[in-house]
Structures are given as C-alpha cells and as structure tokens.
Structure 1
Amino acid sequence: MTSRIEQILARIDALHDELEAAIAERRAQFRYRLERNSVRFEAEAKRRHRALRVRLGTFLARANPWHVATAPLIYSLIFPFALLDLFVSVYQAVCFRAYGIPRVKRRDHIRIDRQHLAYLNALQKLNCVYCGYCNGLLSYVTEIASRTEAFWCPIKHAARVAQPHRRYPEFMDYGDAEGFDSGLARSREAVTRDDA
C-alpha cells in the first residue's frame, strides 16, 4: 500500500473519531447517556417525549395511502432477511473457523434500541425494530463478506465502487499480476489477525 493511501485512510479514521465526538455532544443536548449499552434519559426528557407522541389512531389517519398499501411488501422482506441471517451466520461459524478468520460479532452491527423512545407510537416502534434489524443485518453481512473477500480475492475493481467496505483501499491494484501472490498472503495475514 502506498503512503498516500495510508495518509487518506488515517484522515478517514480521524474523521470517524470526530463524528463520534460530535454524536457524543448531541447526547448531552438530547439529555441521555449510555450505561452498559442501555440508554438513560433524564426524567424531564422522558416526560417531554411522552407528550410529543402521536397516538396510533391519529398517526394512521394521517398516513399516506401509498405508505399503507406498500407496508405488506416491506414487511414481507423479513423472510428473506431472516434466511440471509441464518445462512450467513452458519457460513461464518463453519468457514471462518476453517480459514482462521475471527468471527464478526452480530451485536456490533445489529442495534435494536429505538423502540425505547417514548415519543414513538407502537407502529413507529415496530417499524424501528424492523429497520434496525434489517440495516444492521446488512452491515453484519457486509463485514462477513469483506473478510471473505480479503481472504480470497483482495483485488480492487477496474471501475469505481460507490461505497466500498473498509478493507477495500488496502486491496491490490487491478492488473497487478506481479504483486498478486505476495498481496494475497499479506491480505490473508491481516484478515486472520483482524478482530475489529
């Protein structure tokens, strides 16, 4: 990897740290804190949240008919998502052990906590649980896939990739035939010792 790429990756890491610091500042503004992965709101914030909740009947009366009509299609995706979760989890349990790759922790990706917000009604809470699971699952699957790709085929694509995973910048350049064997060995070593 070139020093220019290393510099860019260091700047990206610094920006991630800056983003986390900004989010932490917002926690104080919205009067909550995290205690061992549990959210704790101040009493006044909880009271204000409950006062702002839109009752389910009012929420449904105001709903866009297209949103209501498409809801069954959205929720039907739970079946392929659950199947994906099952298959990818089994794949990781078997294959990562065989490859010596550290396993991805589901809890680092799937966050289901928005249903505790007092300003959401029951349907909004259900929607938030669904979205938290599905988007977290995709993050979990992406991390498993990125570790697999780093182990088997750590080569950049010829064309630009819109949102590459975090390992992608370290992959070998497309067309680097001379560096393939050594690059593959480096990538495998890195991904098998990577526990992040």
Structure 2
Amino acid sequence: MTSQLDTLMEKLRSVEAEIEVEMAKRREELRFRVENQRIIFEREVLEAQRAIKTRLPRYLLHAHPLSVLTAPVIYSMLVPIVVLDLSVQLYQAICFPVYGIPKVRRRDYLVFDRHHLAYLNAIEKLNCAYCSYANGMVAFVREVAARTEIYWCPIKHARRMLGPHPYYQGFADFGDAKGFRGKLEALKNGVKIEGAI
C-alpha cells in the first residue's frame, strides 16, 4: 500500500528529472557541451566571454578593502576542510567495509569545471575552485554521514529538520518502535546492496 509520503516522494523525483531536462536545454542555449569530462564552448561564445572578463589589475583596483582583509580568514578554512576530507576518507575506508556499506566515491562530489569559463580572471577562478572544494566536501561528508545513519539510526527526528538528506524520508517515524525494528534490517540491507535506499 502506497502512503501519501511515498506518492509525494515519487512526485519529487519526477520534478527533479524535469529540472535535469530543463538544465540540459539551458546548456544548449548557452552553446556548450561536455565531452569526455571536458567542457567545450563554441568559438564565438568563448570570444564573447573573453571580451567581458575583468582583467586582474582592474579587478584588484576595484576590490572592496574589507573583501581583501577577510580573504585570509576565508582561505584559512582550507585547513579544517582538508583535515575533514582526510578524516572522512579514512573513516569510510576503515568502517564501511566492516559493515558492508558501499564507499562513497569522493570524485562524484568534487567538481572543478569553472576554470573553463573565459569570463573569469585568475582570482575569480581560484575563488571558484575554493568554493567547489568546500561545497563538494560538505556534500561528500553528508553522503558518508547519511549512509552511516541509514545503518545505525534510521529514525526521523521529532522536530522538523531543515534540508534532510535524500534517504531521511524512508526512515522510521519518531516514536514508532515497531516501525523502527521493521525498517532497521531492511535499510541496512538496502545500503549494503544498493549504496542507497
């Protein structure tokens, strides 16, 4: 028997698929394609992008002084992000095989492609690489944590949570002891077999 929640989740997946189709259409409008993980723009598009690039001297001359002063604080966050990266890789390398949980492929979450944009100068490209790494790392860690939660504690919270991971809706309801016991093994087996539920 399909619950209303299952129906809504199916609608959500359908909308996500529609979003992907619209994004593909937008890529066509912007006249680029991806071939063998390389981004290729049409020649005139590249020339138009280069024409609007803010050259480095002008960029630095017009930089807000507080932006320049806070940049070291922003970039200092690389240290804990790299430590987190290494720690989570070690964590899943040691723990996931013991429990039969498929490892999360880090490369699926770290995407560095903005350097192909000819309208960005060197500093903007560096900033984009930093943001790609930081946000990709957070997404990678979230997936590792989600697979861990599926295995150990697939129970929804009593209070509303903002931005739950994609597996959360399949968890047992808070306070539903029978539901928890019934779902626990199924979810553990699901994460072992499919890498997701």
Q: Does TM, scored on the shorter chain, surpass 0.5?
A: yes
Deviations 1:109-130, CA, capped at 9 Å, x for gaps: 1101101211100000000011
Please say which of residues 32-41 and 123-132 is displaced more in the overlay.
Answer: 32-41
For normalisation by structure 2, the TM-score amounts to: 0.96
Query: How many residue pairs end up in the alignment?
Result: 196
2:32 matched to 1:48? no
CA distance in 2, matches of 1:166, 1:194: 14
Deviations 1:13-68, CA, capped at 9 Å, x for gaps: 11111111111111111110111221110111111111111001111111121111
Match of 2:156? Answer: 156
3-state SS of 1:120 partner? coil
3-state SS of 1:118 partner? coil
The unaligned stretches of length 5 or more in structure 2 are none
3-state SS of 1:40 partner? strand
3-state SS of 2:177 partner? coil
For normalisation by structure 1, the TM-score amounts to: 0.96
Report the Cα offset of residue 2 of structure 1: 5.3
State the identity %: 46
Deviations 1:79-134, CA, capped at 9 Å, x for gaps: 00000000001111111111101111112111011012111000000000110011
Match of 2:11? Answer: 11
3-state SS of 1:34 partner? strand
Match of 1:69? Answer: 69
Match of 1:100? Answer: 100
CA distance in 2, matches of 1:36, 1:8: 36
Please say which of residues 116-125 and 61-70 is displaced more in the overlay.
Answer: 61-70
Runs of 4+ in 1 over 2 A off after TM superposition: none
Match of 1:131? Answer: 131
What does 1:114-193 correspond to in 2, within 5 Å? 114-193=114-193
CA distance in 2, matches of 1:154, 1:71: 40
Match of 2:81? Answer: 81
The unaligned stretches of length 5 or more in structure 1 are none
The residue identity in structure 1 corresponding to 2:80 is: P
The residue identity in structure 1 corresponding to 2:19 is: L
State the superposition RMSD in angstroms: 1.2
The 3 A distance-change label for structure 1 pair 156 and 45 is same
